[in-house]
């Protein structure tokens, strides 16, 4: 069967989306050639300086390419099957034409799921396109045409969605690309000045040295601002989307709803083990579907927390409105193990273990 017009258009789009990645790849390949061959090998006479520059350069280069690769080729995670509507629920939903009755059905399904955010109008967040209940912090990406867990943004420079599965890689990509540009700028400066003083031999190397300095310093500025912004987001436990529009909880919007304090926010992205922080391997905490929040921690069916008071207004609001699964469970799991919230085994035990942990965090934060 011949491909349809839409299929051809999709195919062309898919090819076009790789252009920014290709652009970066060409620049990086040229920078490698210019730095290693033209600057270090051709223009630097001092062997000691040459060796040190080449060693440090290659360490940063490898980390940068590794992090970039991981950001591009790590598949964004989609919601677990528990969030998808069953066949019977879909039928039920289709039969109802009133919004309120549909919401009633969705609310019934959401009862067993760790969902605490709502739409602006207070409705359950449902993706028509994927036919699923959106977990907290999950958004539908129109480019990927999928619901992406903890979606941060769709990044054209990596032709991928930045979300739960690759946010750590994205942060490391920003860090190492910034270090890469800063290192080139710093070590090239001396030769850049020599160029203007006509101190360089008249070969093509001097033009590589000139453009290397311009491009590295310009990229440094834009990467630094982006990196600083994302560091701030990590400290505040916000995604770019949440920074633009604060998440809505049942009691209203709260831009700091997922914040557990700077250190725990950082560990949510980078993990508990320091040795994995600088390495682009997965070490983020949680399953991407459920997130501890300082706003939702009281369940009417659970005994009151053994640790200190929680802001009274928050308790009252949540106790009234949350008949669902205690968040304490997902909170404690997120911060104690990497198991999925849907693993029922040992849930009671974890509940006991973690009971003080998340709430304690909140108290520190407050
Ligand atoms: Zn979707
Ligand atoms: Zn996307």
The string of pLDDT tens digits covering residues 181-232 is 999 999 999 999 999 998 888 899 999 999 999 999 999 999 999 999 999 9
Listed residues 184, 211, 226: the one ending a domain: 226
In a domain, 6, yes or no: no
Gap from CA of 292 to ligand 2 centroid (Å): 24
Are residues 189 and 220 located together in one domain of the fold?
Answer: yes
195 and 309 assigned to the same domain: no
Q: How far, in Å, CA of 3 to CA of 167, rounded?
A: 35
Asked whether residue 330 is domain-assigned, the answer is: yes
Say which ligand is closest to the CA of 146: 1
Q: Please tell me the predicted confidence (pLDDT) of residue 200.
A: 87
212 token code pair: 């290397």
Counting beta carbons within 10 angstroms of the beta carbon of residue 178, is it exposed (0 to 12), middle (13 to 18) or buried (19 or more)?
buried
Ligand 2 centroid vs 190 CA: distance in angstroms? 42
Residue 305 has pLDDT above 90, yes or no: no
Residue 59 vs residue 294, higher pLDDT: 59
Residues 44 and 186 occupy one common structural domain: yes
Distance 220 CA to ligand 2 centre (A): 26
3-state secondary structure of 268: helix
> Do 62 and 185 belong to one domain?
yes
> Does 92 lie in the same domain as 217?
no
**Within a domain: 112:** yes
Asked whether the beta carbons of 340 and 287 are under 8 A apart, the reply is yes
Cα–Cα distances in Å, from 140 out to 53, 163, 298? 45, 11, 29
Q: Which pLDDT does position 356 carry in this prediction? A: 32
How many other C-beta atoms lie within 10 A of the C-beta of residue 176? 23
Residue 334 binned pLDDT confidence (cut-offs 50, 70, 90): very low
Q: What's the confidence (pLDDT) of residue 333?
A: 40
Contact 296, 318 (CB under 8 A): yes
CA distance 197 to 194: 5
Mean pLDDT of 332-355: 39
Residue 28 or 316, more confident:
28
Are 57 and 127 found together in one domain?
A: no
pTM of the model: 0.80
Burial class, 160, CB count within 10 angstroms (exposed 0-12 / middle 13-18 / buried 19+): buried
Together in a domain, 212 and 337: no
pLDDT top residue among 222 and 110: 222
Instruction: Using the Cα atoms of residue 137, residue 143, residue 144 and residue 145 in order, give the sign of their dihedral.
Output: positive
Q: Is the pLDDT of residue 242 over 70?
A: yes
Q: In this structure, what token pair is assigned to residue 219?
A: 């990229």
In a domain, 240, yes or no: no
Residue 345 has pLDDT above 80, yes or no: no
Would you say residue 205 lies in a domain?
yes
Q: Residue 251: which pLDDT band, with cuts at 50, 70 and 90?
A: confident
Q: What is the mean pLDDT of residues 309-331?
A: 36
Q: Which residues pair with residue 126 across a beta bridge?
A: 133
Model pLDDT, residue 295 = 64
Residue 242 in any domain: the answer is no
Average pLDDT over the chain reads: 83
Asked if the structure places residue 139 within a domain, the reply is no
Distance CA 224, CA 361 (A): 30
User: What's the pLDDT at 252?
Assistant: 87
The alpha helices in the chain, defined as continuous H runs, are 5-16, 19-32, 47-73, 87-95, 99-110, 167-196, 205-236, 240-244, 262-270, 312-321, 327-336, 347-354, 357-365
The reply to whether 272 falls in a domain is yes
Q: What is the pLDDT of residue 337?
A: 40
Place 2 in a pLDDT band, splitting at 50, 70 and 90: low
More confident residue, 214 or 99: 214
Residue 140 dihedral angles phi and psi, to the nearest 5°: -85, 125
Positions marked active-site: 155
When divided into structural domains, the chain yields a total of 3
Mean pLDDT of 289-312: 52
Model pLDDT for residues 150-163, shown as the tens digit of each residue: 999 999 999 999 99
265 and 354 inside one domain? yes
- The angle formed by the CA atoms of residues 360, 362 and 366, to the nearest 5 degrees, is 120
Whether 194 and 296 share a structural domain: no
Q: Which residues sit with Cβ closer than 5 angstroms to ligand 1, an ion?
A: 127, 129-130, 140, 147
Which range of residues forms the domain containing residue 345? 260-365
Q: What pLDDT is recorded for position 94?
A: 85
Most confident of 36-50, 84-98, 306-320: 36-50
Query: What average pLDDT score do residues 26-31 get?
Result: 98
Domain end, chosen from 226, 249, 272, is at: 226
**More confident site: 325 or 292:** 292
Same domain, 39 and 117: no
Tell me the CA–centroid distance for residue 82 and ligand 2, in Å.
Answer: 22
Is the pLDDT confidence value at 348 over 90? no
Token couple for 230: 């994302």
Please check whether residue 336 is in contact with residue 354, taking contact to mean a CB–CB distance below 8 angstroms: yes
211 in the same domain as 67? yes
Q: Say if residue 183 is in the same domain as residue 208.
A: yes
């Amino acid at each position: 069967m011949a491909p349809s017009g839409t299929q051809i258009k999709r195919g062309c789009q898919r090819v076009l989306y790789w252009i920014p990645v290709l652009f970066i790849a060409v620049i990086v390949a040229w920078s490698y050639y210019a730095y290693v061959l033209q600057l270090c090998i051709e223009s630097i006479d001092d062997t000691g300086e040459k060796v040190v520059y080449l060693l440090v350069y290659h360490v940063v280069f490898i980390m940068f390419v590794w992090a970039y690769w991981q950001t591009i080729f790590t598949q964004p995670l989609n919601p677990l099957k528990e969030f998808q509507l069953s066949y019977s629920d879909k039928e039920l939903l289709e039969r109802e034409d009133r919004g309120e009755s549909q919401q009633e059905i969705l609310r019934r399904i959401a009862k067993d799921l760790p969902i605490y955010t709502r739409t602006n109008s207070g409705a359950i967040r449902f993706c028509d396109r994927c036919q699923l209940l959106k977990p907290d912090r999950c958004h539908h990406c129109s480019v990927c045409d999928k619901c992406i867990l903890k979606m941060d943004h769709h990044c054209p420079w990596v032709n991928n969605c930045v979300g739960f599965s690759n946010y750590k890689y994205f942060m490391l990509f920003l860090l190492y690309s910034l270090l890469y540009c800063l290192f080139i700028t710093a070590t090239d400066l001396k030769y850049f000045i020599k160029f203007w003083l006509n101190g360089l031999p008249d070969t093509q190397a001097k033009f590589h040295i000139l453009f290397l300095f311009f491009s590295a310093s310009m990229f440094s500025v834009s990467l630094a601002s982006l990196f600083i912004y994302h560091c701030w987001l990590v400290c505040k436990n916000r995604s770019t989307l949440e920074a633009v529009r604060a998440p809505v909880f049942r009691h209203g919007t709260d831009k700091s709803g997922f914040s557990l304090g700077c250190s725990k926010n950082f560990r949510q992205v980078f993990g508990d083990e320091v040795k994995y922080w600088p390495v682009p391997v997965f070490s983020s905490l949680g399953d991407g579907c459920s997130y501890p929040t300082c706003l939702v921690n009281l369940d009417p069916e659970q005994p009151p927390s053994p640790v200190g008071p929680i802001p009274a207004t928050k308790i009252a609001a949540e106790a009234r409105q949350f008949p669902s699964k205690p968040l304490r469970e997902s909170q404690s799991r997120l911060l104690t193990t990497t198991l999925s919230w849907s693993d029922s085994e040992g849930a009671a035990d974890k509940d006991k273990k973690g009971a003080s942990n998340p709430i304690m965090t909140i108290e520190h934060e407050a």
